Chain A
Amino acid sequence: MAPIDWQGTERVDTSPDVSDEVKTTTCYMCACRCGIKVHLKDGAVRYIEGNRRHPINRGVLCAKGSAGIMNHYSPARLSQPLLRVGPRGSGEFKEISWDEALDKAVEWLGAIRRRDPRQLAFFTGRDQSQALTGWWASQFGTPNYAAHGGFCSVNMAAAGLYTVGGSFWEFGEPDWKHARYFLMFGVAEDHDSNPIKIGLGQLKGRPADRAAKFVSVNPVRTGYSAIADEWIGIRPGTDGLFVMSLIRELLRADKIDADYLVRYTNAPWLVIQSPGTAEDGLFARDAQGHPLCWNRKGHATANALLPDIVPALVGEFELPDGRKAVPAFQLMAQRYVDDRYAPEAVAAETGVAADTIRRIAAELAHAAFAQTVVVEQPWTDWAGRRHERMVGRPVALHAMRGISAHSNGFHTCRAIHVLQMLLGAIDTPGSFRFKPPFPKPCPPAQRPAGKPDQVTPGKPLAGPPLGFPTGPEDLLVEADGSARRIDKAFSWEAPLAAHGLMHMVITNAWKGDPYRIDTLFLFMANMGWNSAMNVPGTLAMLTDKDEATDEYKIPHIIYADAYFSETVPYADLVLPDTTYLERWDCISLLDRPICDADGPADAIRQPVVTPNRNVRPFQDVLIELGHRLRLPGLTRDDGSPRFPGLYADYMVNHERAPGIGMLGGWRGANGDEHGKGSVNPRQLDRYIENDCFWRHELPDDQKYFKHANKAYLEWAASVGFIGSADPIVLQLYAEPLQKFRLAAQGHGRVLPPERERARIRTYFDPLPLWYAPFEQASVDIASFPLHAITQRPMAMYHSWGSQNAWLRQIHGDNRLYMNRATAERLGISDNDWVHLGSHHGRIRCQVRLMEGVNADTVWTWNAVGKRAGAWNLDPAAPEATRGFLLNHLISELLPEREGGYRYANADPVTGQAAWYDLRVRIERAPADAGSSEPRFDPLHRPAGLADRPDVLRYGASFKARRALDSATGDD
């Protein structure tokens, strides 16, 4: 047969119409908040792409964002308000109207508010509207509010905000353009997705004469770590030791930036050395309260905040009152030059060879001091002194969940910030940079409200529910020292719990410890599954009844979510939310905005498609509910709603302080004021005209040294980011911690109960310390020899991903990954089924061997495992049959410790959930196991869910129309 000629086989339409219309909005497929362009065709979503103009993603879009169509059209979408009619967990609901749903909520919540507002616990999950939800809780009058930060990153946020006035990720970023050395700790695969990927691409693509080295410190070598120039497969929970060893090497070699320490940190501030007294370990202060230093120009104490003094970094000095004091620097140096932190001494614990630690220290010093970056840009410091150029230390550090999710994470994160300070590598060219509105004073000025006189029936809370205590007097405790909040945040058990302790709410509410609540109101938090520690126990608590009354111990549960998650069947009242393409939203400077280091920015979501179900945006519902409850901020004096246009109205017209609202762009009557200004009724139009975001680029002389840059500080104060233009002094030595410690020694007015004192004394160290994570310190390590951790994959964001027809083809089940050599030693082969046991529980799962994981660590993808029937998946879907969670092995409570009390499985300073402290043992399961365990009863689909299609041919209709258009000549 002669070959067929290739010619003339097909007419290809190379210029089809892509869409009828393109609308911009903000992605919500994870927490990054990228700008997207949504192409609409025939009223449906044809294509979603990154917006090139957007400061976060600059045109790129990750796998999740690219799969937004499948979340938007997911058959797991709820379609109607639901009221439970069967027992909790049965999934028996009746469909009700929105009026009925809101009436029911008002009936429950109104009674609480009249009686004791604290009986409402309002906890939101991956909520990007915390500026609204936190304010709403405050208007309602309950202090029992938090979002998911206590699960995730409060150790990073709190350590950062108490130390440098900013933090990794949300409030700071690496200087991708100038860094010569990038050291990244414990960052999961898809953390800060597109910004980090863009940055890494930039870093790796540098020309040879400005080449950068990227070092990833992480027990697991996947994702970002896979392209690191060097991977350090550290033992989980020992990063602090590694960092302290680096600090030791730098100190001993005098490779530190002493000028930076003196100018910008509290290293020279004098610390009172007067053991046994009420001021021991506090800063010496003058009569006006200014901290003192020893001024070598004049050989006397001086106000440490003055310019042009010559403060001593070491030495012992006599204060005017005769007491002794030493600079904070000396206390710090004394601690870390100790041989306890010698590379040889920490090598076995960290799993990092001593030579490697020494080499990394030398490389940090080389980058910082031999590869100094100079930006030829004059600037003026806080004292009005002009500097001709900006000189920087091009060492950028970044850290996240792997540091955060340990019970020693607060101190480890502080240690990382101390390392940055020693290198002069905070907000200088090439280093970590603050994102405005940060830096803020360390800590920010907001204090949590919820003391007895701040909670009044029928009235708003006298302040915000979350904040930053500066000493025991700011705690929310009763006279006997017990907690005021249901999650025990800001109590002696978690004094600096700036994001609350969501992982303790259900347990505490069920126990009635510290008290019973009436209603648990959750939004976007899968507390019945992958957001809970101890899932079986959690489900038992949600369904447990009081024998005397036959009422549930948590009497009412309201849940708002867009999808049929594992938590929905446990709610009494379900408020169905929209998808992210169907709503107004606000990525506010009052919350967690989209700023970058070169300027503040914020953004909105606009509805780009109309819901085809009886669902409403949660924020609209919350505002209407607030009005029905007659909350003062949501109700006019005549009783009418203050924001009849609901959230879009609130976004524009609500002012937190005069001129300061939810959105910073185009304020003022004419829309020509930015940051601060009166309400502009056309503000949303202006956002939409600008692709749904606003950004102010800082002038070049404000882009570095923001903590001490006069022009920046004055501007930031003028727009309300900070209270005054005073310089922000970085806190090497954290005095607020010492105040708690002094209380534990019996000093002061607010004292911890006896039971808490040893714990506070130990962990409220004003200098970073390292201790073994609590779980491993509590269990027999020989019985539980392995660490077990999780991360989420690049292409999936927590539980939302498994309903996504495309993403679940990439991650439809999960394996337990373990080190090949370790497995061989234990007689475990690739694909074996194993039992994994902890002090708390046992699961069965399937193993995959790999090289790139710490030898004593096993890990898996988080939240891929699903309960059968949830998310409208086939009950036999791989997520339910082979997928698994480590959550079943993790207890929300630590094993009994001193005195038999079971503390929260959390950091003792911040209450951060210690997910990664888990210790396990592994045993082979029978070869024919074939499925994961435990298995839970399959969930029943609630009414109103769409049928699952057998075959999905999304997009066929667009092609069909194209064929029709071309046949009819319609272009």
Chain B
Amino acid sequence: MTSLPAAPPGQKKLGLVIDLDTCVGCHACAVNCKEWNTGGHSAPLTDHDPYGDAWGVWFNRVHSFEAGDGAASRTVHFPKSCLHCEQPACVEVCPTGASYKRADDGIVLVNADTCIGCKLCSWACPYGAREYDAVDGVMKKCTLCIDRIYNDKLDEVDRVPACVSTCPVGARHFGDLGDAGSAVSRLVADRGGYDLMPELGYRPVNKYLPPRPAKTAAGATGAPAALEPRAAAGGNKFLAWVDRMLSR
């Protein structure tokens, strides 16, 4: 079993904030993650039978589903990757220390050199965020693009995870959720960001922002429920415009 690092107050906790109000389910994050990471720290992200009944390793997957019935239903696009939990069961169950949580920034990683591919971590993770590479015989997972976010060979603006950099609607945000004053923490506070399955007690670092209230009720934009027809004097429907002096 593997121990967790101490996490003093104010400890840096890097993670993602994902806005479910704007995610259109386009899979840009998932595919850009795949192309970055298949040549990155955990390379490759192996694909089996790629031109047949294909299945492969992905660190980020988008689940699209509907919630609710009939008129009350809505379509949800839900991107999901490792949540870099503060209490990651996947680390604690690791028999070799291969799964570990970094003290400096809280990122959960797997050391491929010591991973024995026993899959205990994937059984322990309630979020299904771990991905087994059957060719390498090791577990792989989201690294929060550890080879981008500190990479001094990239421009500073590019030192964010690939999924954040590429998201077309701007639904993905990266930052330090251990700092209450950071942009991501303020976003979570302002928008009521929430934990995925908090009842399980793993305390995910990544947060989700809920959809904003829909503006479907009459009056939601300030408009009346219907327009009042203008009285048509003498039955002439066009009288409204007859006397209007409109200059070209």
Contacts and interface: CB of A to CB of B under 8 A. Distances in A.
A482 to B, nearest CB: 44
Nearest to A850: B66
Contact of B53 (A7, A224, A877): A877
Contacts of A10: 100, 109, 111, 113-114
B26 A62 contact: yes
Contacts of A812: 53-54
A243 to B, nearest CB: 15
Contact of A66 (B35, B48, B69): B35
Contacts of A67: 31, 34-35
Contact of B153 (A18, A366, A873): A18
A227 interface: yes
Contact of A955 (B44, B52, B114, B162): B44
Nearest to B34: A806
Given A12-B146, A15-B153, A794-B27, A6 B101 contact: yes
A230 B216 contact: yes
Interface stretch (A46-54, A511-519, A614-622, A916-924): A46-54
Interface in A195-239: 197-198, 200-202, 204-205, 211, 213, 221-227, 229-230
Interface string A260-275: 0111000010000000
A227 B211 CA distance: 8
A333 B227 contact: no
Contacts of A63: 26-28, 30-32
A261 B241 CA distance: 12
B44 A954 contact: yes
B5 interface: yes
A852 B77 CA distance: 13
A314 B49 CA distance: 70
B156 to A, nearest CB: 12
Interface string A674-712: 000000000000000000000000000000000000000
Nearest to A76: B51
A685 B40 CA distance: 32
Contacts of A288: none
Contacts of B233: none
A306 B248 CA distance: 8
A200 B74 CA distance: 18
A876 to B, nearest CB: 6
Contacts of B35: 47-48, 66-67, 69, 806
B50 A805 contact: yes
A315 B74 contact: no
Interface residues of A, number: 130
Q: Choose among A65, A308, A359 the residue with the greatest number of B CB atoms under 10 Å from its CB.
A: A359
Interface stretch (A148-156, A251-259, A588-596, A598-606): A251-259
Contact of A213 (B21, B113, B220): B220
Interface string A180-196: 11000000011001100
A917 to B, nearest CB: 26
Interface string A50-84: 10100001011111111101000001000000000
B223 A363 contact: yes
A483 interface: no
B interface majority secondary structure? loop
Given A6-B97, A309-B247, A805-B54, A46 B39 contact: yes
B185 interface: no
Interface string B204-248: 000000011011101011111111111000000110111011111
B153 to A, nearest CB: 6
A794 B221 contact: no
A753 interface: no
B139 to A, nearest CB: 13
Contacts of B70: 821, 851
Given A10-B109, A310-B248, A197 B168 contact: yes
Contact of A201 (B22, B27, B76, B224): B22
A115 B205 CA distance: 74
B75 interface: yes
A213 B165 CA distance: 26
Nearest to B71: A851
B169 interface: yes
A874 interface: yes
A6 B77 CA distance: 35
A330 interface: yes
Given A190-B26, A949-B50, A956 B43 contact: yes
A334 B215 CA distance: 33
B26 A959 contact: no
B166 interface: yes
A952 interface: yes
Given A3-B1, A14-B151, A258-B244, A230 B214 contact: yes
Contacts, number: 348
A230 B71 CA distance: 11
A899 B242 CA distance: 47
Given A258-B244, A262-B247, A252 B100 contact: no
A953 interface: yes
Nearest to B4: A6
A927 interface: no
A120 interface: no
A953 B165 contact: no
B26 A197 contact: yes
Given A313-B246, A852-B73, A809 B47 contact: yes
Contact of B241 (A15, A75, A314): A314
A953 B46 CA distance: 5
A366 B76 CA distance: 30
B248 A307 contact: yes
Given A4-B1, A223-B24, A359-B225, A309 B248 contact: yes
B56 A952 contact: yes
Contacts of A180: 221
Contacts of B244: 258, 313
A808 B28 contact: no
A851 B68 contact: yes
B11 interface: no
Given A6-B91, A230-B216, A951-B47, A310 B247 contact: yes
Nearest to A61: B166
B200 interface: no
Interface string A835-867: 000000000000000111000000000000000
B210 to A, nearest CB: 12
B2 A4 contact: yes
B52 A877 contact: yes
Given A197-B26, A201-B170, A252 B227 contact: yes
Contacts of B237: 252, 333-334, 337
Interface in B89-112: 91-92, 94-98, 100-101, 103, 109, 111
A616 to B, nearest CB: 25
Interface centre among B35, B37, B97 (most CB of A within 10 A): B35
A873 B52 contact: yes
Contact of B212 (A16, A204, A363): A204
Contacts of A362: 223-227
A12 B3 CA distance: 19
Nearest to A371: B222
B23 interface: yes
Contacts of B165: 49-50, 59-60
Nearest to A10: B111
Contacts of B95: 4
Ranked nearest first, the 7 interchain pairs of A and B with the lowest CB-CB distance are A366-B223, A874-B52, A197-B168, A955-B39, A253-B227, A955-B38, A201-B169
5 contacts: A50-B165, A200-B22, A222-B64, A225-B75, A795-B27
Given A14-B147, A201-B22, 17 more contacts: A1-B1, A4-B95, A5-B97, A6-B101, A12-B41, A227-B21, A227-B22, A258-B246, A259-B246, A358-B227, A359-B223, A362-B226, A808-B54, A812-B53, A872-B51, A949-B50, A952-B48
